[in-house]
Amino acid sequence: MRAIEPPASGGPRQARGRKRMAALSLCFVPLIVGCGPHLATKAGDAAQMPNPMLNASYAQEAEVPFVMEPTMATPLSSGRANFGSETASRRTRETADWVVASRDNLNMPFAIVDKVNAKVYAFSVDGQLKGAAPVLLGMGIGDDVAPGISDMRMSLIPPADRTTPAGRFMTAMGRNSHGKEILWLDYENAISMHPVVTSIPEQRRPQRLASPSPLDNRISYGCINVPPEFFTDVIHRLFAGTVGIVYVMPETKPRAAL
């Protein structure tokens, strides 16, 4: 099960059992989405805005990993996301603006993961930035989950198949098989966001997070590792007790399946 890093003991059957337990822990998600009184549908005209995550092509931006631009504070009534003084790539800002203007987040907190620059941005329901942090991502370059790996032991997954999938994920807080709190993105394929794993010192994950370059941030089996304090102070506070959405921007695909 890829949500557990480092590799958990046991074979595919035990992994499937843990996966089913994870799925059950999220069974309340459809109820919240269906019954929440403030989960409005998308606004008419705004819903027709082109989604930046579906624009071709990401290849050029992926070739230049330092595409970061500062942005000024945005008024609350502007219909755009407010990054404050935080730097972000053009496509990240366009995606955040689209989410706010189209109300694609359905009045839920949301986060955007920029895989190219190895960074996550977390927003309140109205698009106010609550925090940003570097992330560690799957070792493999790509935007899809490799077929069949959900039934494989982690240690047997080839490095090229250890990818962080791109897309729009409805998320909820949960716990892994060790009882550690995580934010589930795709429980079927065991993809989650969680505090950085430090149990394998030779992988130097904290040092990779602290590095100013995103080029050494590919080390996980597909999960998104974040600094522990960011997970506690930002992710937990935003997503605990509610459903949210995480947008993982593609790095190789010209079009992402959202």
- Residues marked active site are found at 194, 223
Under 8 Å between Cβ of 57 and 249: no
Separation in Å, CA 118 to CA 71, 154, 160, 172, 249: 18, 22, 18, 22, 10
* 3-state secondary structure string across 4-49: CCCCCCCCHHHHHHHHHHHHHHCCCHHHHHHHCCCCCCCCCCHHHC
**What φ, ψ does residue 52 adopt, rounded to 5°?**
-60, -25
**What φ, ψ does residue 121 adopt, rounded to 5°?**
-125, 125
Q: What is the DSSP code (8-state) at residue 3?
A: T
Residue type, 23: A
